[in-house]
Amino acid sequence: MRVVLAEDLALLRDGLIRLLQAHGMQVVEAVDNGPALLRALTTHRPDVAVVDVRLPPTFTDEGLRAALAAREQIPGLPILVLSQYVEQLYARELLSQGSGGIGYLLKDRVSDVAQFIEAIRRVATGGTAMDPEVISQLLVRHRDSSPVTSLTPRESEVLGYMAEGLSNAAIAAAMFVTEKAVGKHIGSIFGKLNLHPQDDTNRRVLAVLAFLDAGPHRP
């Protein structure tokens, strides 16, 4: 798997390169600023890009902007954005192109190596990897007067994992239940939220995220 990496802090950049290489990924280019990232993404067209939000020269959301610009040119280019903090606003912008292959994780998650690598692979295959913190922020808006309140605790848990982008198998593993049980929960959730059932995992994730993002008072 060919990866483009964008991280301006040398310490973290070297660590990430080592981590990715140890898991059989090939880092075709590691850059440390926004303009270089955009150029690397469009020339290499990697299988996936791992991008830090804050990059030189502006030290603001340069990485995010470069990623969005690259996806304008190459629709569906898989990008995993890492950040010291997560903002719903940025999650929404990343998801707005609606084609999947998007990840948005706190940098902390790198320390859980197995899950981090799994998230990269998921994004590379067109899936979604949303940080649990994004999901919990989204769920705040469904505290009251939303169909989400009618879910059982178990179903809420499944909804959270589903919104993060996990597959049925991964949800089953995380909750120590069978895939069949997960399937049943998902069917019930879609019924209660009045969403169309989707066979395709990626489309299902995006539908759930769009539902949560819209808030409880949808027109």
Binding site for other proteins (CB under 8 A): 54, 59-61, 84-85, 87-90, 92, 106-108, 111-112, 137, 140-141, 143-144, 215, 217
Q: Give the shortest CB-22-to-other proteins separation in angstroms.
A: 17
| 139 exposure class (CB count in 10 Å sphere: 0-12, 13-18, 19+) | middle
Q: Which is nearer to other proteins, 144 or 199 (CB)?
A: 144
Q: Are the beta carbons of 205 and 163 closer than 8 angstroms?
A: yes
Q: Give the shortest CB-92-to-other proteins separation in angstroms.
A: 7
Categorise residue 161: left if φ over 0, alpha if ψ from -120 to 50, beta otherwise: alpha
Q: Which is nearer to other proteins, 141 or 192 (CB)?
A: 141
What token pair was written down for 32?
Answer: 């440390």
Q: Give the shortest CB-63-to-other proteins separation in angstroms.
A: 11
Q: Which is nearer to other proteins, 137 or 188 (CB)?
A: 137
Q: Give the shortest CB-1-to-other proteins separation in angstroms.
A: 25
- The Cα 40–Cα 28 span in angstroms is 9
Q: Give the shortest CB-144-to-other proteins separation in angstroms.
A: 8
Closest CA to 79 of 89, 90, 171: 90
Q: Which is nearer to other proteins, 83 or 201 (CB)?
A: 83
Residue 80, beta-bridge partner list? 50, 103
What is the number of helices (H) and of strands (E) in the chain? 10, 6
Q: Which is nearer to other proteins, 187 or 215 (CB)?
A: 215
